[in-house]
């Protein structure tokens, strides 16, 4: 199968029709985010928390999760690129496109991620953030795909553990599209294939 370097333009007109299977419904995601928010609020009671989210995939998760946490918190945003173009494979190369806007020295930091796949992106980010001397640094990911892990990552909060499938929706993209779906789903194989 050849993977296109460009966005799947021929299918871009109908996002829902490109999805073969809904893995996590909007309701399931909502229920789990509420649970995570409660657990995080409980674990950090009496402390001030800094949520650091990694754009762009974590945007919906971050927006929903922060509103389910009822302790004082600050947010900050980073953007990194790990995948080039529309490819579904991690390159292992991480580039910081947007850095933190405030110091996290001495802060309780929770890194909010969309998905951990090989772990290469997060591994790089963890080393980078540890260098900024937070009081603590934990990880919260909506999705975990442990089957493809290349580096060991200590995940503190996981929304869902999913099988080794490329998923889109609720922030996750293929060729920058499908982030606005309310659910997490698997694309039809034709979307990835281009005629030879």
Cα 172-175-181 angle, rounded to 5 deg: 40
User: Which lies closer to ligand IMP via its Cβ, residue 168 or residue 181?
Assistant: 168
Distance CA 196, CA 193 (A): 9
Among the options 18, 64, 114, 117, which is catalytic? Answer: 117
- Residue 117 is a catalytic residue: yes
Cα 54-56-60 angle, rounded to 5 deg: 90
Distance CA 49, CA 34 (A): 17
Cα 152-157-159 angle, rounded to 5 deg: 105
| Residue 108 interacts with ligand IMP (CB under 6 A): yes or no | no
Cα 75-168-143 angle, rounded to 5 deg: 55
What residues contact residue 35 under an 8 Å CB cut-off, 6+ apart? none
Q: Take residue 55 and report the two structure tokens written for it.
A: 């754009």
How many chain residues interact with ligand IMP (CB under 6 A)?
17
Q: Is 111 in contact with 129 (CB distance < 8 Å)? A: yes
| Residue 78 interacts with ligand IMP (CB under 6 A): yes or no | no
| Residue 62 interacts with ligand IMP (CB under 6 A): yes or no | no
User: Which lies closer to ligand IMP via its Cβ, residue 38 or residue 148?
Assistant: 148
Q: Single out the residue of 3, 75, 76, 83 in contact with ligand IMP (rule: CB under 6 A).
A: 83
Q: Single out the residue of 50, 82, 108, 158 in contact with ligand IMP (rule: CB under 6 A).
A: 82
| Residue 107 interacts with ligand IMP (CB under 6 A): yes or no | no
Choices 6-14, 33-41, 70-78, 82-90; region in contact with ligand IMP by CB under 6 A:
82-90
| Residue 118 interacts with ligand IMP (CB under 6 A): yes or no | yes
Q: What residues are labeled active site?
A: 117
Question: Contact residues for ligand IMP (CB under 6 A)?
Answer: 57, 82-83, 90, 114-122, 166-168, 172
């Amino acid at each position: 199968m050849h993977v296109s370097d460009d966005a799947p333009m021929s299918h871009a007109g109908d996002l829902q029709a490109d999805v073969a299977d809904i893995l996590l419904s909007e309701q399931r995601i909502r229920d789990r985010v509420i649970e995570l928010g409660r657990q995080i609020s409980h674990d950090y009671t009496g402390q001030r928390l800094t949520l650091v989210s990694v754009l762009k995939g974590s945007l919906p998760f971050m927006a929903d999760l922060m509103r389910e946490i009822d302790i004082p918190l600050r947010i900050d945003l980073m953007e990194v690129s790990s995948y080039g173009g529309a490819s579904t494979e991690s390159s292992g190369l991480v580039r910081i496109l947007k850095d933190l806007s405030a110091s996290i020295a001495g802060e309780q930091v929770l890194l909010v991620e969309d998905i951990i796949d090989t772990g290469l992106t997060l591994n790089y980010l963890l080393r980078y953030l540890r260098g900024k001397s937070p009081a603590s640094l934990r990880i919260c990911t909506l999705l975990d795909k442990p089957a493809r892990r290349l580096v060991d990552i200590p995940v503190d909060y996981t929304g869902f553990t999913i099988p080794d499938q490329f998923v889109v929706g609720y922030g996750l993209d293929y060729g920058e599209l499908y982030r606005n779906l309310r659910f997490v789903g698997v694309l039809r194989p034709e979307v990835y294939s281009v005629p030879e």
